[in-house]
Chain A
Amino acid sequence: MSENQESRTARTLAREIRDFSRMTTGALRFMEVCGTHTMAIHSAGLRKLFPDNLTLVSGPGCPVCVTEKSFIDQAMLTARQYDACLVTFGDLVRVPGSFGSLATLRSEGGRVRVVYSPMQAVNIAAEEAPRPVVFLGVGFETTTPTVAVTLTKALSEGVRNLFVLSAFKTIHPPLKLISAQKDLDGFLLPGHVSAILGSDCYTYLAEEFHKGGVVAGFEPLDILLALRDLVRMTVEHDFQIINDYRRVVRPEGNPAARSVVEEVFEPSDASWRGLGVIPGSGLAFKGPYARFDAAVHLPVEVPLTKDDPRCKCAAILTGSITPDRCGLFGRECTPEDPVGPCMVSSEGTCAAYYKYGVN
């Protein structure tokens, strides 16, 4: 489609969203589960097209945002104590821990290497041997299969100096928690996590919690289409799960991806910034893959961390408030000098609000 055609399509969808929104007197409040959706919406400036009674709040689908400060601390302590080389996705580099960030560690001469793919950690392990190499494992269901495949390769090649510090999380436990508690009308469901899990796995949202959900892609038109369907089903009280990303998401998802995750990992309890411990929401190493567990093989004493009590990331993550309601926003907490991960993560709600403006 030409650019002109695409903007005409956008105008049609925006008009339909407005028309449906007018069918209710109340506010419509939806949660964007996935941080990449938050970024995409801000990047395309879509908020300008929304009606006044439509609010999107950002959910916990931001692996960097929900990773506890103690994880960064543990990574840094591991690097220092064992002279380990840390391998990480770019997202984590500027997240503040209690003693600075990975960027701080790097500027002090610590070895921190940024990768695009977890598979590169295997090459780096070979380069750095015998020095231990620790891959920082953050991510949801889109990313965990990529790490699982990487570890099956590392196992078969007998790599001895590669370890993984796991902060992996799964999306259904917090989603269930939030569906029960929150004053939300429905969900913009993650596109690529759903490619792995399938669109069929969300039916409980409609059946148990009477909330609608639409699986959405990431192009501006994909998001507008999904919002139109979400608004329509909500004002019509026709709660269901709709898949608006059918070119990528199948009802059954990607079983090959799920089975390799099941081979390498098993569910564990995990601590989420802002949500506390959620049982069964994390991933731990299973069977022969326990050899890669950095926490076990490179143990460090991580001091108890105290989050800045003024930081409102917790409430922002659960959708209770918007960033501008946090007293630190734009003052003590900016992308240059972040207090909480919501500001430093490229997809954090606060960073997006700060960079792209509240329209």
Chain B
Amino acid sequence: MMGRLIRDLILPKLDRGRLGLLADSAVLSEIAGQIAYTTDSFVVSPIFFPGGNIGSLAVHGTCNDLACSAARPLFLSLGLILEEGLEIGQLEAILQSVATAADQAGVEIVTGDTKVVPRGSADGIFINTSGIGRIESPTGVSPDRIEEGDEILVSGPVGNHGMAVMLSRAEFSFDFELESDSASIWPVVERLLELGPGLKFLRDPTRGGLAATLNEIASLTGKGVTVDESAIPIDRPVMAAAEMLGIDPLLAANEGKIVAVVAGGLGGSSLDLLRDCPLAQGAAVIGQVNSGPPARVVMNTRIGGSRVVAEPSGELLPRIC
């Protein structure tokens, strides 16, 4: 059964030359330069959401982890754990999304594994992807390189993935056009690499949203971070849904965005570099690293007040109060 699954379903969709060899290990060509290597497991529910599914997420998520190390994604492994009873149609759709996402990201899936577990042991399907990339930043990106005066930018509007998933829950009856922003953002990073040593740090604001990443920057550096609420790009439907459900859009996950810390004064040039990048439409400089309260994120609010953006805790929940 497994053999047929691999032969008839998985390989036709995913084989780009190496996977189909079904070797015990994929033998890769030599990679010049430093190698980045990462792994991630995807156990999300629901497995299908507006604008994507667990398959595309598994590709984008790992590619983006590589991109955050300034590494061009090259190769992926794909580990599938299938719950017995998963509909073939769903599996097909997920595999197709994996294939499309991998092709768009320019990565080859070179090795994989598939297991079936008893009903109830998995939420439909769990996926693990490990990724290999080649680092293309000579100076490297790291929180140690961040200094006071550095500027913080985000590659586009935030909260789309988290809010799209929230709105699509079965218990709610919302009509909306909002979709996940799930995408492989290497093309955005590739452009920012032209800043040379001016590019200090990269992070994708997934779980916990922009708030989590800003707090990470503050706590990793021990420095103060200040952002301007009016500079943070948020799409209108995201804002509306967030207000309706009582959710802070800064806490909602993003799967196709990057937060970059660049040297002070380079904010404008960074935006110029991103101007014609389709994955960075709406990019904006939102704040800076400064001598504010250490390890704290302070936001200047639209109305002229100020508050701390706290570290998010726990799942995103709608409220009525």
Contact = CB atoms under 8 A, between A and B. Distances in A.
Interface of A: 3, 6-7, 10-11, 14, 35-36, 42-49, 62-64, 89-91, 93-94, 103, 113-116, 120, 124, 139, 143, 220-221, 334-336, 345-347, 354-357, 359
The 7 closest A-B pairs by CB, nearest first: A45-B305, A357-B308, A90-B317, A355-B310, A45-B307, A220-B303, A45-B301
A14 B304 CA distance: 10
B230 interface: yes
Nearest to B243: A218
A349 B245 CA distance: 20
Given A116-B245, A355-B310, A47 B321 contact: no
Interface string B290-301: 000000101111
24 contacts: A7-B302, A44-B302, A45-B307, A46-B305, A47-B305, A63-B321, A89-B318, A90-B245, A90-B246, A91-B317, A91-B321, A94-B314, A114-B169, A114-B317, A116-B318, A221-B303, A336-B313, A345-B321, A346-B317, A346-B319, A355-B308, A356-B310, A357-B296, A359-B306
Given A44-B301, A45-B306, A335-B313, A64 B321 contact: yes
A10 B244 CA distance: 24
A354 B310 CA distance: 8
B31 interface: no
B320 A10 contact: no
Given A116-B245, A335-B313, A62 B321 contact: yes
B171 A115 contact: yes
Contacts of B246: 90, 346
A116 B308 contact: no
Contacts of A336: 313-314
Contacts of A103: 314-315
Nearest to A65: B321
A43 B243 CA distance: 12
A90 to B, nearest CB: 3
Interface string B228-248: 001000000000000011101
Contact of B171 (A120, A139, A220): A120
A91 B318 CA distance: 7
A198 B248 CA distance: 30
Nearest to A89: B320
Nearest to A345: B321
B303 A10 contact: yes
Q: How large is the interface on B (under 10, 10 to 19, 20 to 34, 35 or more residues)?
A: 20 to 34
Nearest to A348: B321
A42 B302 CA distance: 13
B29 interface: no
A64 B319 CA distance: 11
A300 B109 CA distance: 55
A45 B317 CA distance: 22
Contacts of A113: 171
Contact of A49 (B299, B304, B317): B304
Given A45-B299, A356-B310, A90 B305 contact: no
A303 B313 CA distance: 30
Nearest to B244: A116
A4 B234 CA distance: 18
Contacts of B169: 114
A336 B312 CA distance: 9
B317 A44 contact: no
Nearest to B302: A3
A334 B310 CA distance: 12
A10 B304 contact: yes
Contacts of A116: 171-172, 244-245, 318, 320
A44 B301 CA distance: 6
Interface string B220-264: 000000000010000000000000111010000000000000000
A354 B312 CA distance: 11
Contacts of A47: 305
A46 B229 CA distance: 14
Contacts of B308: 355-357
Nearest to A63: B321
A32 to B, nearest CB: 13
